[in-house]
Structures are given as C-alpha cells and as structure tokens.
Structure 1
Amino acid sequence: MSGEYPTPTLGQRLRYITGATLPSSMSQWVLEDLTGPGATRRYLLRVLVPVIPPLCLFLLIPGPAWMGLAMMALLYLPLIYFAVALTYVFRRHRLAEHGLDPTLADARARARGDAERRDYERRHGRG
C-alpha cells in the first residue's frame, strides 16, 4: 500500500484487525486494504494465524499425538473453508462499517468482466 494517504499507527492497526473502525481520514487506506492487491491474503492471514496457538493446546491432552492433531484439524479445516467462503461478505461488511460503498468489494472483478465482454464483442462483431 502506498504512502499517499494517512496510514494507521500500530495500535490503530491492531484495533482495526480485531474489528474496530478507523477514522474517516483513513478511508483510502481501508479501501486499499480491503480491495487492493493482496486483500484476500491479508484477510486469510488475519483470520487463520491467530487461532493456531489456542488450537495447539489440544496437543497437551494425554494420549497419542495424532489424537491432538485430529482434534485440531476438526476445528481448523472448517475454519479455513468458511473463511474462504465468506471473504467477499466480510469485505463488504468492513467497507460498509467504514462508511464506504460495499459494492467496491467487487469493483475489480466487475471491471475485469466488463473488459472481457468488450473484448468478446469486439472479436465477434457485436460491439
């Protein structure tokens, strides 16, 4: 993300990651964070990495190690599935929460689809 607009401090970033809203002066940063390159990767890292240490507590349960790993997997695999499935919903919600237009969450995909359609129509004589 570029430095052309105000960026949050470390404390603001930590609160933002945990669900707090940032001041409206940082709307451009929020927009870039939620829709810019790497937005999905950042979202998945923020959701999937913090739960690993608590899941490791299953390894302390007496018994074979595979039992603790199996219990971890029973919780972690559905978390991965739902985190990926709800990425779009989460981004729309966070945009709305910061007073931004939720339709911006898929603006790049729409623009890419429009470009493909124009290219198709140009190649096949419909435009």
Structure 2
Amino acid sequence: MAIQRPNLLQWLRYTFGGRLPDRYRDWVLHDTTSRNWLWRFALRIVVEALPWLVVGFLALTLLTPIPVGYVLAAIGLALVLSLYFTVTSADELTEARLVKHGFRPGTGKSTRRQARN
C-alpha cells in the first residue's frame, strides 16, 4: 500500500507548523525519518523563510537607497543563518513535529537509527 501524500495546500500548512489529518501519519513519519529527511527539513525552512525574505527585499529596495547587490547579500546571509540555526536543531524540531502528529517522543531518532543499522 502506498503512503498517502498531502496536497500542496496541506503541505504548505504542514510546513508552517500545522497538523495534518491522521490519514497522513505514515507520510509524516516518512518525511521526518527517510534517508533524505534533513534535505526535506531544509526545504521546509527555505519555504517558511521565503515570504519574509521577499518582504525584506522589497522593503529595503523600495524604502532605502541601499544598492540591490547589498540587499541580496543581506537576504542571502539571513537565509544561510536561518538554515544554520534550524538545521542544528533539526532532530528536536522533527521530534516535536512527530509528537504533534501522535507519535511517541523519540520515534524519529529511533527510526533513523534503526534504518542506519
């Protein structure tokens, strides 16, 4: 039986911290424990940051005389820093996501450890 995946709107809600319906529990477990779970996590962070980065870019380019190159550098640095600070806490943040979807604490870490062995 194939894992049921959320549609785009459901995925966006999930990305911004929303809870998916119970029929997606297997997908949430897969999303947080698959071989490429950290890349998926980083993608969610980029999607979460994108609206704020766009607003920052527009505000800085339209309301200040700062050259666009400097604004882009600042926006890029903001994205790199947000990725750094969240990826360093990825284990804990994915565990919280799993608990929110009804899994026991530690499920993600133990599932990833079993997959490595």
**TM-score of the superposition, structure 1-length normalised?**
0.70
Checking the alignment, whether the CA contact within 8 Å between 1:59 and 1:69 is kept in structure 2 is: no
Seen in structure 2, the aligned counterparts of structure 1 residues 11 and 109 have a Cα distance that, compared at 3 Å, is closer
Give the C-alpha shift of residue 84 in structure 1: 1.3
Spell out structure 1 runs of 4+ moving beyond 4 A.
Answer: none
Query: Which residues of structure 2 form unaligned runs of 5+?
Result: none
Structure 1: 5+ residue stretches without partners: 116-127
- Higher relative contact order (CA closer than 8 Å, sequence separation 6+): 2
Give the structure with higher Rg (CA): 1
Q: Say if 1:74 and 1:103 are closer, same or farther in 2 by CA, change over 3 A.
A: same
Out of 25, 28, 37, the residue aligned to residue 27 of structure 1 is 25
Q: Give identity over the alignment, percent.
A: 32
Q: 2:35 aligns with which of 31, 34, 37?
A: 37
Describe the shift of the 1:64–1:23 C-alpha distance in structure 2 as closer, same or farther (beyond 3 A).
Answer: closer
The two structures, once aligned, show a CA RMSD in angstroms of 2.3
Give the equivalent residue in structure 1 for 2:100: 97
Q: Provide the aligned length of Structure 1 versus Structure 2.
A: 111
